[in-house]
Structure 1
Amino acid sequence: MRVYGVVGYKNAGKTGLMERLVADITGRGLQVSTLKHAHHRFDVDQPGKDSFRHRAAGASQVLLASNTRWALMSELGDQAEPSLTDLLAKLDPVDLVLVEGYKRDAHPKVEAYRQETGNPLIARNDPTIRAVASDVPLDLDRPVFDLDATRAVADFILSEVGL
């Protein structure tokens, strides 16, 4: 499976870029899955719903299914957070998996950067970041795209992974 990441600090535009990349690349007829890392507890379930009640009662896994989708929720308990490699192995085969986050992993990435956040540019010290999508011009040793130039960023990623 081909994997490419989008990284950046909070409010840098990662999620918007991911959303636009998925739309652009799937619009070309390719299958794309996404994997997003969260730095906080999250819940995709709602209190009071049956599946929430199953988890709250102690189920290790709850699989929720309908005629339009299914979702499998797994409780980690005291187990360590799964690695990116372990999580990727759980996905069905597709043309490309776009990963939001996991900036310390070794897969190739594009950094989303907004100057107004005041955060440093990760790319300066990270060779796994192959390009930057920025809201300001930058002088770097790798390609810099306008943060809103989705088609150009998608072309770059697809070229990098051989699609």
Structure 2
Amino acid sequence: MRLYGVTGWKNSGKTGLVERLVAELTARGFSVSTVKHAHHSFDVDHPGRDSYRHRDAGAREVLLSSRNRIALMTELRGAEEPALETLLTRLAPVDLVLVEGYKRDRHPKIEAHRAETGQPLIAPGDETIRAVASDSARSLPEGLARPVFDLDDTGAIADFILSEVGL
């Protein structure tokens, strides 16, 4: 399965870029899935719902199904978080998987960067970052040996990613 990452610091525009890329790539006829890493606890279920009650009672996995969608929730219950590679095996085959976050993993990535965050670029110290998408090219260090895109130029970023993965 081909995969490409979108990484960057908090509030750098990662989620918006992934959202726009999914819309752009699917409009071009490609099938796309996403994996998003969260650094905090999260819940997609709600107290009182049947599926929540199943999990709360101790179920390791709860599969919720309807004619519109399927959701599989897995409680780690103290087990180690699965590696990205392991999680990818649970996805159905698609043309491209976009991965948000996972900045320490070794897959190819584009870094989202917003000058207003005041955060330094990750790219100079990480060869897996193949390009930078920024809202301010002027805020980037001189001599950056990576292509730079406007953060909002979704079409050009999509073209770059497709070229990188051979689609």
- TM tier, smaller: over 0.9
Partner of 1:128: 128
Unaligned runs of 5+ residues in structure 1 are: none
Partner of 2:25: 25
Counterparts of 1:60-79 in structure 2 under 5 Å?
Answer: 60-79=60-79
Unaligned runs of 5+ residues in structure 2 are: none
Residue aligned with 1:72, SS: strand
**Structure 1 residue 124: deviation in Å?**
1.0
Partner of 1:59: 59
Tell me the alpha carbon deviations over residues 86-129 of structure 1, each in whole angstroms, 9 at most, x when there is no partner.
Answer: 00011000000000000000000000000110111000110000
Tell me the alpha carbon deviations over residues 107-162 of structure 1, each in whole angstroms, 9 at most, x when there is no partner.
Answer: 00000000110111000110000000001113310100000000000000000000
- Paired with 1:134 and 1:67, the residues of 2 have a C-alpha distance of 40
- Paired with 1:77 and 1:51, the residues of 2 have a C-alpha distance of 16
Residue aligned with 1:52, SS: helix
Tell me the alpha carbon deviations over residues 64-96 of structure 1, each in whole angstroms, 9 at most, x when there is no partner.
Answer: 000111111010012100000000011000000
Equivalent position amino acid for 1:149 in 2: D
TM-score normalised by L of structure 1: 0.99
Tell me the alpha carbon deviations over residues 17-48 of structure 1, each in whole angstroms, 9 at most, x when there is no partner.
Answer: 00000000000000000000000000000111
- Paired with 1:31 and 1:67, the residues of 2 have a C-alpha distance of 20
Partner of 2:117: 117
Partner of 1:149: 153
- Paired with 1:97 and 1:46, the residues of 2 have a C-alpha distance of 28
**Structure 1 residue 51: deviation in Å?**
0.2
- Paired with 1:156 and 1:73, the residues of 2 have a C-alpha distance of 34
**Structure 1 residue 3: deviation in Å?**
0.5
Q: Which runs of 4+ in 1 moved over 3 A?
A: none
TM-score normalised by L of structure 2: 0.96
Residue aligned with 1:110, SS: strand
- Paired with 1:94 and 1:70, the residues of 2 have a C-alpha distance of 17
Give % identity.
Answer: 71
Equivalent position amino acid for 1:143 in 2: P
Establish whether residue 37 from structure 1 lines up as the match of residue 37 from structure 2. Answer: yes
